[in-house]
Structure 1
């Protein structure tokens, strides 16, 4: 299963968690600071939940596309970007974390989608997962539903 979790009580750094459950589970921690520029959101009052929902919808569309390989972006910073490379097999999708210096903070969704295959991606680690497409999509749907849950503000007395 592949899930995205947002830490609403954190700042804009280290507030996005990408959790992969497989034979070996792993959590990638990223920032949401790049999402507004990526999706060309001009309203500064847009909630982080909305931006993360756009990211999840993008991932779902990429996973359901006819592309044999796609790259799911999860962190674009000043020095480079990270993504999950999805290689689609007949029954399972292979997932590898990758990174590049070619895409940084400020890259737009349109540019990313057009150039994701042309970019020089480097393997982030030797980890890899093989997950069924239904499992991945179930996790992303769970993540979307989780964003719709009401937030309970922290109160200190």
Structure 2
């Protein structure tokens, strides 16, 4: 499913990203304080001191979220997409091992193209769900053929 924001229906959307200590600090501010600072910044960069404040604001509190604490994946210097592929391999990973995978890995850190994104987390979850479906379909077909 894709969602498109239609400016004629919903208005225009401005997305921003704050990282590091500034993001941690921003989470200590009220929505009103963030909106005031945002409006002042927009007025300054547009050169329009009369620019009206945004109608709405939605922000995350990524740093204080207890399940993430501000973390997300990134490809470190010296790393590559191959390292992401290694993180995504199920265990056991031996092709010659008759034991089906016991541990599957999903999450934004395991998607080579969309690492560090919600989209990557979703797609990697679908990837592993498909892996389980294929695994169970093949084990069911083997059970059926052994009964014949």
**With CA pairs under 8 Å and 6+ residues apart, which has the higher RCO, 1 or 2?**
1
Q: TM-score, normalised by structure 1?
A: 0.23
Q: TM-score, normalised by structure 2?
A: 0.24
Structure holding more strand per residue: 1
Higher alpha-carbon Rg: 2
